[in-house]
């Protein structure tokens, strides 16, 4: 672009090279309407909404390699937990019981009782209480075992009466499977037909594949396994009570020389200690209350062996959500077999459900909300996971483990998402 000479400053309009000034677009709203971002009423159009949502999008950077390794590590960890169930279940149960009983040992220490003596006294008192309870109700449990043949006969009779002497569904399926197997064997070559095996006879209407000896053998193996694990738990509780705060001090020492990390570790251990103690105390109170109410209600109704069923209800209620269903079903079945009356079944099952709902939904929910402050949906999902992983023991230990995970997640940087999901 060349500049005009100094003497000739006048420029004709036709010779001007400057562009004319742009026409004024008015207010911003008018400009937006001209661009098609607003309609005649001033509301944003689809283009404006798309632009607004596009502006709110967050870029997500995915580390495929890290995600793959994390998924593989998680799957391997879950299968390791399932494979080592017989090790982790007694270990966790012993740790939780030791956490619950440690305040009693510390209280004895304030009265100048040495820790070794206090741990021995507490463990002996727990064993004596369990032995006394078993001695008081062992007669009722033996009565239940003695009545099993009669109960089995009643169930078989009821099933036969309900089927009008016709084969049951399971027996029909077995007969159909035998016929299919026979047809598959007949479809082979002539040589195979020559050595054709004897056809499997169909089950008769009164036959049953249930074998009492197999059931007794399985029950004996389960009882022996339970006794061995209970012995391991008792010794573990004693040694943990005897050790006191030794492992806590070691964990604090292992966190490193940083004073901040040691403070965070101390706070985590204190929160875990308090949460587990409060939760186990809540279980003791609510399950003991439920057992007493069940004993009184079943005894007033006239159900046999009310003490044994009350203890069963108190133990089963430890499993959240699933315990009340198990209690109601068991007591309803026993009432049906004893009274053979639908009215008594409804009365017993209704009383059991009412007591379990009163204690579980009111007392337990209120105390759990005050103690753990957890999301009920997250707790239920975790119970499904631990129940699938460890069965009944998973349902028993699921909630304390979720409490521990929540406490750790609230204190450890990078686990805020887990803490938020588990919190209220």
pLDDT per position as a tens digit, 244-299: 888 888 888 887 777 888 888 888 888 888 888 888 888 888 888 888 999 999 98
- Band the pLDDT of 34: cuts 50, 70, 90: low
DSSP state of 360: I
Residue-level pLDDT at 198: 46
Where is mean pLDDT largest: 159-173, 209-223, 383-397? Answer: 383-397
Structure-model confidence comparison of residues 122 and 198, the more confident one:
122
Query: pLDDT digits over 282-295, tens only?
Result: 888 888 888 899 99
Q: Which residues pair with 44 in a beta bridge?
A: 38
Q: How far apart are the first and last CA of the chain?
A: 71
CA-CA distance, 408 to 369, in Å (whole number)?
A: 18
Among 250, 409, 39, which Cα is nearest to 401's?
409
The pLDDT confidence band at residue 167, using thresholds 50, 70 and 90, is: low
Q: For 169-195, write each residue's pLDDT tens digit.
A: 556 666 666 767 666 666 555 544 544
Residue 24 has pLDDT above 80, yes or no: no
Residue 9: pLDDT band (50, 70, 90) is: very low
Over residues 344-370, the mean pLDDT reads: 78
Per-residue pLDDT averaged across 70-90, rounded?
A: 89
pLDDT cut 70: percent of the chain above it: 64
Q: With H, G, I as helix, E, B as strand and everything else as coil, classify residue 256.
A: coil
Instruction: Let me know: does 89 contact 390? Beta carbons within 8 Å.
Output: yes
Higher pLDDT, 166 or 119: 119
- pLDDT bracket for residue 43 (50, 70, 90): low
Is the pLDDT at 406 greater than 80? The verdict is yes
Nearest CA-CA partner of 104 in 117, 90, 95: 117
What average pLDDT does this structure show over 322-328?
84
Confidence bin at 46 (pLDDT 50/70/90) = low
Count CB neighbours of 98 within 10 A. Answer: 22
In 10 A of CB 394, how many CB atoms?
Answer: 22
Task: Tell me the mean pLDDT in the region 35-64.
Answer: 57
Please determine, for residue 156, whether its predicted confidence score (pLDDT) is greater than 60: yes
Give 158 or 58, the one with higher predicted confidence: 158
Mean pLDDT (whole number) for 4-14: 45
pLDDT at residue 208 is higher than 50? no
Query: Pick the residue with more confidence: 347 or 166?
Result: 347
Contact 317, 323 (CB under 8 A): yes
Question: What share of the chain in percent tops pLDDT 90?
Answer: 3
Instruction: Round the average pLDDT of the chain to a whole number and report it.
Output: 74
CA distance 26 to 126: 87
CA dist 188 and 291 (Å) reads 62
Phi, psi dihedral angles at 203 (to 5 degrees): -70, 140
**Reduced to 3 states, what is the DSSP secondary structure of residue 147?**
coil
Query: Dihedral through CA 111, CA 115, CA 121, CA 127, nearest 10?
Result: 140
What pLDDT band is residue 20 in, cutting at 50, 70 and 90? very low
SS3 content of the chain, % helix, strand, coil (to 5): 75, 0, 25
Question: What would the two tokens of residue 44 be?
Answer: 């944003």
What is the C-alpha radius of gyration for the chain, rounded to an integer number of angstroms? 36
Tens digit of pLDDT for each residue in 108-137?
A: 988 888 888 989 999 999 889 888 887 877
Rounded to the nearest 5°, which phi and psi values hold at 8? -115, 85
């Amino acid at each position: 672009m060349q500049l005009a000479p100094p003497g000739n400053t006048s420029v004709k309009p036709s010779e001007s090279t400057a562009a004319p000034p742009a026409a004024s677009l008015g207010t911003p709203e008018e400009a937006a309407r001209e661009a098609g971002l607003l309609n005649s009423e001033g509301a944003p159009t689809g283009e404006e909404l798309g632009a607004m949502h596009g502006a709110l999008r967050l870029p997500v950077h995915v580390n495929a390699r890290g995600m793959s390794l994390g998924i593989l590590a998680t799957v391997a960890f879950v299968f390791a937990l399932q494979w080592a169930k017989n090790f982790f279940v007694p270990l966790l149960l012993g740790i939780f019981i030791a956490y619950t009983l440690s305040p009693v040992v510390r209280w004895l220490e304030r009265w100048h009782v040495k820790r070794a003596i206090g741990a021995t006294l507490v463990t002996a008192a727990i064993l004596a209480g369990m032995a006394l309870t078993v001695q008081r109700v062992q007669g009722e449990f033996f009565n239940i075992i003695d009545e099993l043949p009669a109960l089995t006969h009643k169930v078989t009779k009821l099933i036969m009466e309900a089927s009008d002497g016709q084969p049951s569904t399971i027996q029909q399926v077995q007969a159909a499977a035998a016929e299919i197997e026979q047809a598959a064997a007949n479809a082979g070559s002539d040589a195979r037909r020559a050595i054709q095996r004897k056809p499997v006879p169909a089950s008769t209407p009164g036959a049953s594949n249930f074998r009492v000896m197999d059931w007794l053998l399985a029950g004996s193996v389960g009882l022996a396994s339970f006794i061995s694990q209970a012995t391991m738990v008792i010794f573990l509780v004693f040694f943990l009570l005897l050790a006191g705060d030794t492992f806590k001090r070691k964990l604090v020492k292992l966190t490193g020389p940083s004073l901040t990390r040691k403070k965070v570790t101390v706070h985590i251990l204190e929160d875990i200690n308090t949460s587990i103690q409060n939760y186990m105390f809540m279980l003791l109170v609510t399950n003991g209350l439920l057992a007493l109410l069940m004993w009184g209600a079943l005894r007033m109704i006239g159900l046999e062996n009310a003490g044994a069923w009350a203890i069963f209800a108190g133990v089963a209620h430890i499993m959240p959500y699933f315990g009340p269903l198990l209690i109601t079903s068991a007591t309803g079945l026993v009432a049906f077999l004893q009274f053979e009356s639908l009215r008594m079944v409804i009365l017993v099952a209704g009383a059991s459900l009412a007591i379990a709902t009163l204690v579980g939904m009111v007392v337990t929910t209120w105390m759990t909300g005050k103690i753990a402050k957890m999301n009920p949906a997250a707790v239920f999902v975790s119970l499904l996971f631990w129940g699938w992983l460890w069965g009944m023991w998973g349902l028993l230990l699921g909630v304390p483990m979720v409490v521990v995970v929540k406490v750790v997640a609230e204190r450890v940087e990078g686990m805020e998402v887990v803490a938020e999901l588990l919190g209220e």
